């Protein structure tokens, strides 16, 4: 059970990340605020609590790995890495600028702390499975966490990788599904339904739990459950809200890939306790 102090600390980190997402996409004039806001609490729990990582030694062989398979949610990860010490937070407003380490989709060649270059949906989870298998073969204690999107679960590549994770019983692999129910053009269930998604993970031999993806005690309990699970990989189906934290963005698919203008950014930041 997470202590109130831990929950308060993670909540503050998530609030900072959400503010940064709005500022970054506003300054860039492009980006993906909706899915970045929905995945924020999962990223905060991982980067600030769960992962064994060291910004002073980013290539530490025994570190845990976080693969953001839904690479368009890059602003959430960039903010978390900045406040974890992997880069100067002053760099955050350079999102998507030419020459910036903060590319529109995460690029491991540009930034320490990014474990895989992703964005072509369905490929990040495959790399995560490979990392988990490599850690097992090398007898390293590293754990691998992959965040996938629900639109991404419409991709065949995703299920080929998940099949391998289950087949090889990679109990050092945790797949977190950011199940916000929306993608670029509307509801996932209207465009290409993926339900019953939890049953599908179970059919692929994943120990599967379903949680509220914005509830830190539930997130931390699920991660603890995953650490204790042996003989199977774990899937965490996190029910989330697209645009979480900004009233006019919540559950609106139009904010998948649309940046806020100045008025919208100021309004959003006011709701999040910040300012431009």
**The predicted structure's pLDDT at residue 140:** 98
Q: What is the mean pLDDT of the chain?
A: 97
**The predicted structure's pLDDT at residue 42:** 98
Number of domains in the chain: 1
Determine, yes or no, domain membership for 188: yes
CATH at 118:
3.40.50.970
Which residues, given as ranges, of the chain have pLDDT below 70? none
Q: Which domain holds residue 143?
A: 4-271
Determine, yes or no, domain membership for 276: no
CA distance 59 to 217: 30
**The predicted structure's pLDDT at residue 1:** 75
**The predicted structure's pLDDT at residue 119:** 86
**The predicted structure's pLDDT at residue 120:** 87
Determine, yes or no, domain membership for 46: yes
**The predicted structure's pLDDT at residue 2:** 81
């Amino acid at each position: 059970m997470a202590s109130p102090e831990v929950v308060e600390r993670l909540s503050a980190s998530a609030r900072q990340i959400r503010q940064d997402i709005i500022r970054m996409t506003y300054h860039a004039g492009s980006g993906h605020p909706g899915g970045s806001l929905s995945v924020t609490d999962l990223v905060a729990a991982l980067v600030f609590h769960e992962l064994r990582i060291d910004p002073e030694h980013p290539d530490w062989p025994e570190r845990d790995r976080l693969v953001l398979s839904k690479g368009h949610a890059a602003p959430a990860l960039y903010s978390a890495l900045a406040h974890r010490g992997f880069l100067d937070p002053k760099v955050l407003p350079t999102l998507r600028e030419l020459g910036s380490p903060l590319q529109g989709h995460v690029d491991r060649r540009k930034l320490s702390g990014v474990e895989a270059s992703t964005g072509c949906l369905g490929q990040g989870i495959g790399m995560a499975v490979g990392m988990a298998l490599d850690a097992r073969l090398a007898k390293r204690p590293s754990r691998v966490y992959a965040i996938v999107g629900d639109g991404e679960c419409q991709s065949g590549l995703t299920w080929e990788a998940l099949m391998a994770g289950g087949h090889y019983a990679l109990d050092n692999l945790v797949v977190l599904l950011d199940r916000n129910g929306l993608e670029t053009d509307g509801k996932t269930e209207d465009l290409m339904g993926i339900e019953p998604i939890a049953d599908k993970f179970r059919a692929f031999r994943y120990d599967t739990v379903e949680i509220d993806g914005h509830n830190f005690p539930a997130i931390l309990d699920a991660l603890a459950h995953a650490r204790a699970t042996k003989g199977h990989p774990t899937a965490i189906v996190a029910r989330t809200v697209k645009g979480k934290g900004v009233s006019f963005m919540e559950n609106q698919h139009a904010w998948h890939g649309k940046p806020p203008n100045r008025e919208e950014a100021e309004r959003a930041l006011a709701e999040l306790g910040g300012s431009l």
